[in-house]
């Protein structure tokens, strides 16, 4: 069974390399190299990622703000937002910008996709999610 959803074999990562000659200034030839990686990357199953997935499972179909996820998981933004970006790149999260009243910046919202919900349920178990310390900022109440 693969550690990553619908991503092929978990140990294979496809890499493409494209090199091409580009005309430079004054007739000097330069080379441009583009390196890219495809979404066949293995999804990391860190304890922090499991905490984020567990938080989404608390209210499976609701849109969530990153700030609230941070407060409830105790993860700082430098840890949380790369996890959210990675989950979105793997199409496990849907993202949207909230339209807000004038004078306030828009807020980014996240929710699990159908594949994300299935993946989160498979990966998260009560034994695998261990909360370390208290939620940051006292957690969300309401």
Query: Which tens digit of pLDDT belongs to each residue from 7-34?
Result: 443 333 334 444 444 444 555 554 445 4
Domain locations in the chain as residue ranges: 1-42, 47-138
| Class of the CATH domain delimited by 47-138 | mainly alpha
| Residue indicated by tokens 């999804």 | 43
Alpha helix (H) ranges present in the chain?
47-58, 66-73, 77-89, 114-123
Give the C-alpha separation, 102 to 126, whole Å. 42
The whole-number pLDDT of residue 104 equals 84
Q: What percent of the chain has pLDDT over 90?
A: 43
H/E element holding 35?
A: strand 29-37
Give the C-alpha separation, 139 to 133, whole Å. 12
φ, ψ dihedrals at 98, nearest 5°: -80, 130
pTM of the prediction? 0.60
Residue of higher predicted confidence among 136 and 46: 46
């Amino acid at each position: 069974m693969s550690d990553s959803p619908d991503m092929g074999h978990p140990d294979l990562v496809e890499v493409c390399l494209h090199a091409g000659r580009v005309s430079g200034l004054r007739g000097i030839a330069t080379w441009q190299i583009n390196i890219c990686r495809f979404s066949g990357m293995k999804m990391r199953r860190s304890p922090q990622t499991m905490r984020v997935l567990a938080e989404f499972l608390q209210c499976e179909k609701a849109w969530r703000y990153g700030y609230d996820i941070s407060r409830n998981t105790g993860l700082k933004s430098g840890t949380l937002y790369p996890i959210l970006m990675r989950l979105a790149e793997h199409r496990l999260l849907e993202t949207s910008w909230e339209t807000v009243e004038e004078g306030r910046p828009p807020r980014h919202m996240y929710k699990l996709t159908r594949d994300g919900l299935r993946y989160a349920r498979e990966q998260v178990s009560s034994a695998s999610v261990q909360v370390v310390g208290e939620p940051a900022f006292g957690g969300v109440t309401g």
